[in-house]
């Protein structure tokens, strides 16, 4: 069931998909494993590694109710055929600059429907999101600071998801750098 956003303006998208924050939901982990099983079926032996990333992966952390998944694939992966399969399953295709491709689920032209999922597909690498997740999981004080920041920014950027993400950037960079020092090379391919 392919989703069509071609007639939806940027302003309409901002209203349809505001920044939402929720207390940690233990079901997010279960939902990650369901998605992981599906992704293993679709990508098969092209997968190098699959990880639950983002705030929903950190126990106890206030988060957008979105399951962010990083799928690292081999360089010869046939993205075109996978994209067709993902679109048929209802995923929306996005092409952000940091990913080979990104698939979104839970977004409809009428707003959120069901569990929101962001699947970031990249080639294998030493990705900062993994370090940031691990650091917040191991350092509750940093996670609490991050939660407070997100609450403040939600008020300012409630209908500007990109602005919300950019405004968190300095915090994320600072703690990712600390994590890279603490966990040096943990995710190198």
111-151 pLDDT, tens digit each: 899 999 999 999 999 999 999 999 999 999 999 999 999 99
What is the model's pLDDT at position 95? Answer: 81
pLDDT band at 96 (very low <50, low <70, confident <90, very high): confident
Beta bridge partners, 50, equal 71
The CATH code belonging to domain 10-182 is 3.30.460.10
pLDDT band at 89 (very low <50, low <70, confident <90, very high): confident
d(CA 168, CA 36): 27
What is the model's pLDDT at position 2? Answer: 67
Q: Where are the domains of the chain?
A: 10-182
Strand 66-73 relative to strand 111-123: parallel, antiparallel, unpaired? parallel
pTM for the model stands at 0.92
The rounded mean pLDDT for the chain is 93
Beta bridge partners, 118, equal 68, 104
DSSP 87-102: HHTTPEEE--TTSSEE
pLDDT band at 9 (very low <50, low <70, confident <90, very high): confident
Average pLDDT rounded to a whole number, residues 46-53 = 97
Q: Is the pLDDT of residue 8 over 70?
A: no
Q: Is the pLDDT of residue 97 over 80?
A: no
DSSP 1-60: -----TT--HHHHHHHS----B---THHHHHHHHHHHHHHHHHGGGEEEEEEESGGGSTT
What is the model's pLDDT at position 1? Answer: 60
What is the model's pLDDT at position 149? Answer: 98
d(CA 58, CA 56): 6
Q: Is the pLDDT of residue 73 over 90?
A: yes
């Amino acid at each position: 069931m392919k989703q069509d956003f071609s007639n939806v303006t940027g302003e309409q998208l901002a209203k349809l998909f505001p920044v939402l924050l929720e207390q940690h939901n233990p079901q997010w982990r279960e939902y990650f494993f369901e998605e992981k099983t599906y992704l293993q079926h679709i990508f098969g032996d092209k997968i190098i590694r699959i990880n639950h990333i983002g705030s929903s992966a950190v126990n106890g952390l206030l988060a957008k109710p979105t399951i962010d998944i990083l799928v690292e694939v081999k360089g010869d992966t046939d993205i075109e055929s996978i994209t067709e399969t993902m679109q048929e399953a209802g995923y929306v295709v996005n092409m952000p600059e940091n990913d080979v491709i990104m698939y979104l689920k839970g977004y409809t032209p009428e707003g959120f429907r069901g569990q929101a999922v962001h699947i970031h597909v990249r080639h294998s690498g030493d990705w900062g999101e993994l370090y940031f997740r691990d650091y917040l999981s191991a350092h509750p004080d940093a996670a609490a600071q991050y939660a407070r920041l997100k609450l403040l920014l939600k008020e300012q950027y409630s209908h500007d998801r990109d602005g919300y993400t950019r405004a968190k950037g300095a915090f994320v960079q600072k703690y990712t750098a600390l994590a890279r020092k603490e966990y040096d090379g943990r995710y190198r391919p």
